[in-house]
Chains A and B, each alone.
Chain A
Amino acid sequence: MTVSSRAPAQKREITRLQELVYELRVQDAMTTKVITVTPQMTMAEFREVLRANRISGTPVVEGGRMVGIISIEDLIKALAAGELGATVGEKMTPNPVTLYEDEPLVHAVGKFSKLGYGRFPVINRQGDLVGIIVQGDIVRALLRRLEIEYHEEEVRRYRASHIFEDILADQVTLRFRYNVVARDFVRAGDASSRLKTTLSRLGIDPRTVRRVAIAAYEAEMNIVIYADSGELIVEVDPTRVHLLAIDRGPGIPDIEKAMEPGFSTAPDWVREMGFGAGMGLPNIKNCADEMRLESTVGVGTRLEVVIYL
């Protein structure tokens, strides 16, 4: 499968599918209700079993033990040879290739493509027949799991939102750190994006999450535009979100001036991107309950924002 380097979403989905065939086990995909036949049955009776159950092959079982496998291909050969009266025992493939129920699904994928069989009986480690698997089962299991994962973001959110109750301590503070790469306009905003997702998962009120995200994004853009390197450090406790944006860079000579709406030192290329209109710091201030800005020219800038929950 070819993957375009320009489609990150698609790339991730394919990787997730690849992961899934390792995560899922044969038992997650197999059919447990197995139709079987005995070696004493005639091929005519076998044909009736296939027709009635709309299947194309079955394991052959005698005295509780699997002794072979027989498929529609064996039936066609018997028909062509006029041997519908022959027994299943004579026409079956003895000692069929099996899969263990606890093997990763990728083993099944490998055996299907290597051996070209239409189905594999599935056994447990004691050797008992517990199921049967065809290629369609694998696709169905993967689709089912992807569907479940689609809803899992909600579960993840639910679980994360209980973290403060689950951790037993007098005070709990979560701390996240995000690196910000200077002058990388394509990745700019990635840190704030991940922070926003994380805060949503913690179950924080969406309006509060939005305020933190906007403040973080403006701070991140300032680092990308003006600094040489920097980071966002976020601490969350049950009462507040504390955002610290630190950079190493030219610093701000006149903080009071920088806080004025409309004041900007941004170069043209930044303005062309829709930024640098002198609204970043005022925007952060509007989102914040508390804001502190310190800067040393030639060293860097430290911006602290507190938003109460």
Chain B
Amino acid sequence: MKLRDVLEIIEGKVITKNTDLDLEVSMGCGADLMSDVLAFTHEGTLLMTGLTNPQVVRTAEMAGIHAIVFVRGKVPPPETIALAEEKGIALLASKYTMFETCGRLYKAGLPSCGLFEASLKSWREFFGEV
């Protein structure tokens, strides 16, 4: 899915300058915990988050995430935008909640990023599945 499709589906706005709307995102992840983002995402994930501090951009940089959607109409502070523009990471804004933003994209065919093996371990232990 291209960023221009994402924008249309979530009725969103572009925040960063020189954003490449032809950028492809292959899966989505909604998270406000940056460690979860680092643990569960893959290269090319679209991140939905309600946090707007510069560490969100740093996290994206480390995880190889090229585009971030801020949900609930949140607008990031200038230092976050400046860092994103420096690192070439696209910032988008959605006025919908995290749930609805993710839901619209999932419904339109954007799959979820896979679960990390390690997190499934505790699931299997608790529920006794293989």
Q: Which residues of A contact B (CB under 8 A)?
A: 6-9, 185-186, 188-189, 192-193, 196, 206-207, 210, 213-214, 216-218, 221, 261, 273-275, 277, 279-280, 282-283, 286
The A interface is mostly helix, strand or loop, or mixed, namely helix
Candidate in A8, A9, A280 with the most chain B CB atoms within 10 angstroms: A9
Q: Is there an interface contact between B35 and A280, defined as CB atoms closer than 8 Å?
A: yes
Q: Is there an interface contact between A286 and B51, defined as CB atoms closer than 8 Å?
A: no
Q: Is there an interface contact between B58 and A193, defined as CB atoms closer than 8 Å?
A: yes
Residues of B within 8 A of A186 (CB): 54, 79
Residues of B within 8 A of A273 (CB): 34, 51, 53, 55
B residues 12-44 in Cβ contact with A at 8 Å: 32-36, 38-39, 43
A132 to B38, CA, bound (A): 56
Q: Is there an interface contact between A217 and B36, defined as CB atoms closer than 8 Å?
A: no
Q: Is there an interface contact between B43 and A206, defined as CB atoms closer than 8 Å?
A: yes
A210 CB → nearest B CB, Å: 6
Q: Is there an interface contact between B62 and A189, defined as CB atoms closer than 8 Å?
A: yes
Q: Is there an interface contact between B82 and A210, defined as CB atoms closer than 8 Å?
A: no
Contact residue among B49, B62, B86, B87 (Cβ-Cβ distance under 8 Å from A214): B62
Residues of A within 8 A of B83 (CB): 8
B110 at the interface (CB under 8 A from A): no
A162 to B78, CA, bound (A): 39
In the complex, residue of chain A having the shortest beta-carbon distance to the beta carbon of B121: A261
Contact residue among B43, B54, B59, B86 (Cβ-Cβ distance under 8 Å from A210): B43
Residues of B within 8 A of A217 (CB): 38, 58-59, 62
Q: Is there an interface contact between A210 and B34, defined as CB atoms closer than 8 Å?
A: no
Residues of B within 8 A of A214 (CB): 38, 62-63
Q: Is there an interface contact between A282 and B118, defined as CB atoms closer than 8 Å?
A: yes
A160 to B32, CA, bound (A): 37
In the complex, residue of chain A having the shortest beta-carbon distance to the beta carbon of B39: A283
In the complex, residue of chain B having the shortest beta-carbon distance to the beta carbon of A6: B78
Q: Is there an interface contact between A274 and B82, defined as CB atoms closer than 8 Å?
A: no
Q: Contacts A186-B79, A217-B38, A282-B118 hold; do A274 and B43 have CB atoms under 8 A apart?
A: no
Annotate B45-68 by CB proximity to A: 1 below 8 A, 0 otherwise.
000010101111011011110000
A188 to B53, CA, bound (A): 11
Other A-B contacts than A7-B82, A206-B43, A279-B35, 19 sampled, CB-CB below 8 A, are A6-B82, A8-B82, A8-B83, A185-B54, A186-B79, A189-B55, A207-B43, A210-B43, A213-B61, A214-B63, A217-B59, A218-B35, A221-B55, A274-B51, A274-B59, A279-B38, A283-B38, A283-B39, A286-B116
